[in-house]
Amino acid sequence: MDAFATEGRSCANEANPPRGAPLFKKGGIQGGFWCGALEQHMNTATDPKAFGKVAVLYGGWSAEREISLKSGATVLAALQRCDVDAYGIDAGTDVLQQLARGKYDRVFNILHGRGGEDGVIQGALEVLRLPYTGSGVLGSALTMNKRLTKVVWQQLGFPTPPYVVVNRDTDLGAIEEQLGFPVAVKPTREGSSIGISKVTRAEDLAEACELGFEHDDTLLAERWISGGEYTAGVLGDEALPLIRMETPRSFYDYQAKYLTDTTRYHCPCGLPADQERDIAALCWRAFEAVGASGWGRVDLILDERFRPWLLEVNTIPGMTDHSLVPKAAAAAGIDLETLVMRILATSLKEGAQS
C-alpha cells in the first residue's frame, strides 16, 4: 500500500505523512527545477505582524460557494492559530465596501469559481491597491476559461486532449466525427467538475450538453483519455509531490471530490522518481505559461502508455478536508499552518499580481 494512500476524509488527518518527498523548484538543474531537502528552503518564518490586518474572502456567489465556505473556514482558523490578525468576509455584492470599511492591509482570496477566480475580484483589488494572494488578473481570467487555457497550451506545444467547442447551435454529429467516443462534455468556465459528463455514445450527447448549458453558454467536448488521474500542486516556484486519485465512480467528479468517502488518494503516486520529477516540471511550466502564479494546481491524465495529458489549471484550489493541495503539502512535510502562511506570503512579493 502507498505510504499516504487513504480513503476520503481520513487522509486529512493522516498522523505521519511521509517527509522529504521531492519538490521541484524553478531555476534548478532538473528540467528547469531544483530538487533538494525540504528544510533548505521551506522553514523560513515570517512575523505574523508583517501581514497587518488580513481579510479572508470566501463564499461568494458562484456554483462553488459551499466549497469556498468550507475552504475559508479552514484558512481563517489556520491563520488565526498562527497569530495573524485575520478576519473572514463572506463576499457578496458589497464586498468592496466591506474591505474599504475594514481598512485591511491585504486579502487572502479563497473564493472559488466565477467572481473570485476569474480575474473579477483581482481587478477590483488592484483598483483598491490591496495586495492579494495567488494569481493576478490575467492568469486568473485565462485559466478560468478551459478553452483559452488549451489554446495557449497547444500553441506552446503542451500536451492536452483534442476538443470541440460546443454552442447551442453546434452540430453534435461533428463531435463524434472529430473526436470519437468516449468524450468529456464540460462547461468552459466552471470548476469542481460541476456540469461535467462522460459520454460513451451519440444518443447521450444532447442530454450531457443540456446539463452543461445549465452552467455555461459554451462547452467543451474533449476526447476522453483513459488512464490514471493525477494532480500537481504548485506553491510559489515549486511543484509539490504528485497525487494519484482513485475512485469507483466513472471519473473524479464532484461527488468523488467532496461528498464520498470512497475516493483514495495515493501520495507517493507510485511513479518512478524521475518520471514524477519530469511530470511535475511539465505541470509547473504549464502553470506559468498561462500566467498563473503564487499557488494552484494542474490536473492531468496519464494514459495507458504513461504519457501526460494536461486538463486544466485551478488557481484557487480547495482547502477542505477532501482537498488536494493540503494533502500534497502534507506529503512534503508542510503542515496546514505553514501552507497557509506560505500562500499568504505570496501577497508580499512585489509584482506577484499582474
Please enumerate in sequence order all residues whose Cβ is within 8 A of that of 175, keeping only pairs 6 or more positions apart, or say none.
Answer: 164, 166, 183, 205, 221
Q: Tell me, yes or no, whether 330 and 232 share the same domain.
A: yes
Q: What is the pLDDT of residues 232-259, one digit of tens each?
A: 999 999 999 999 998 766 666 666 555 5
**End residue of a domain, out of 223, 239, 274:** 223
* CATH classification of the domain holding 98: 3.40.50.20
* CATH classification of the domain holding 171: 3.30.1490.20
What is residue 70's DSSP assignment?
H
Q: How far apart are CA 101 and CA 132, in angstroms?
A: 17
Q: What is the pLDDT of residues 73-98, one digit of tens each?
A: 999 999 999 999 999 999 999 999 99
| Residue 208 maps to a domain | yes
Grid cell 482513485 in the structure block, residue: 246
Q: Tell me, yes or no, whether 197 and 238 share the same domain.
A: no
Please enumerate in sequence order all residues whose Cβ is within 8 A of that of 305, keeping only pairs 6 or more positions apart, or say none.
Answer: none
pLDDT of residue 46: 65
| Residue 141 maps to a domain | no
Q: Tell me, yes or no, whether 125 and 61 share the same domain.
A: yes
Q: Tell me, yes or no, whether 19 and 79 share the same domain.
A: no
Grid cell 494519484 in the structure block, residue: 244
| Residue 333 maps to a domain | yes
pLDDT of residue 19: 45
Whether the pLDDT of residue 153 is over 90: the answer is: yes
Strands 183-187 and 219-223: antiparallel
| Residue 312 maps to a domain | yes
Q: Tell me, yes or no, whether 66 and 33 share the same domain.
A: no
Q: Tell me, yes or no, whether 239 and 327 share the same domain.
A: yes
Q: Tell me the H-state helices in the chain.
A: 65-81, 95-102, 120-128, 137-144, 146-156, 173-179, 205-213, 254, 273-289, 324-331, 336-345
Q: At what angle do helices 273-289 and 146-156 cross, to 10 degrees?
A: 110
Q: Which of 261, 216, 266 is nearest to 241 (CA)?
A: 266
Q: Tell me, yes or no, whether 66 and 126 share the same domain.
A: yes
Q: Give the pLDDT band (50/70/90) at residue 43.
A: very low
* Single-letter amino acid code for the residue at 311: L
Q: Under a CB-based contact definition with an 8 Å cutoff, are residues 250 and 204 in contact?
A: no
Structural domain count, the chain: 3
Grid cell 492568469 in the structure block, residue: 139
Q: Under a CB-based contact definition with an 8 Å cutoff, are residues 79 and 108 in contact?
A: yes
3-12, 232-241, 285-294: segment of lowest average pLDDT: 3-12
Indicate which residues carry an active-site annotation. 64, 192, 258, 297, 299, 312, 314, 318
| Residue 143 maps to a domain | no
15-29, 82-96, 144-158, 188-202: segment of lowest average pLDDT: 15-29
Name the 3-class secondary structure at 264.
strand
| Residue 265 maps to a domain | yes
pLDDT of residue 77: 97
| Residue 71 maps to a domain | yes
Please give the residue that has the higher pLDDT: either 320 or 33: 320
Q: Under a CB-based contact definition with an 8 Å cutoff, are residues 178 and 164 in contact?
A: yes
150-164, 234-248, 258-272, 284-298: segment of lowest average pLDDT: 258-272
* CATH classification of the domain holding 36: 3.30.470.20
Q: Give the pLDDT band (50/70/90) at residue 4.
A: very low
Q: Tell me, yes or no, whether 229 and 325 share the same domain.
A: yes
| Residue 207 maps to a domain | yes
The mean pLDDT value for 211-219 works out to 91
pLDDT of residue 91: 95
Q: Tell me, yes or no, whether 299 and 339 share the same domain.
A: yes
The mean pLDDT value for 19-40 works out to 42
Strands 53-59 and 85-91: parallel
Q: Which of 264, 354, 330 is nearest to 16 (CA)?
A: 330
Q: Under a CB-based contact definition with an 8 Å cutoff, are residues 120 and 145 in contact?
A: no
Domain span at residue 190 reads 162-223
Q: Tell me, yes or no, whether 264 and 301 share the same domain.
A: yes
Q: How far apart are CA 250 and CA 270, in angstroms?
A: 21
Q: Tell me, yes or no, whether 232 and 214 share the same domain.
A: no
Q: How far apart are CA 332 and CA 232, in angstroms?
A: 12
Q: What is the pLDDT of residues 161-180, one digit of tens each?
A: 999 999 999 999 999 999 99
DSSP codes joined into one string, 98-126: HHHHHT-SEEEE---STTTSSSHHHHHHH
Q: Under a CB-based contact definition with an 8 Å cutoff, are residues 270 and 285 in contact?
A: no
Q: Which of 62, 73, 70 is nearest to 112 (CA)?
A: 62
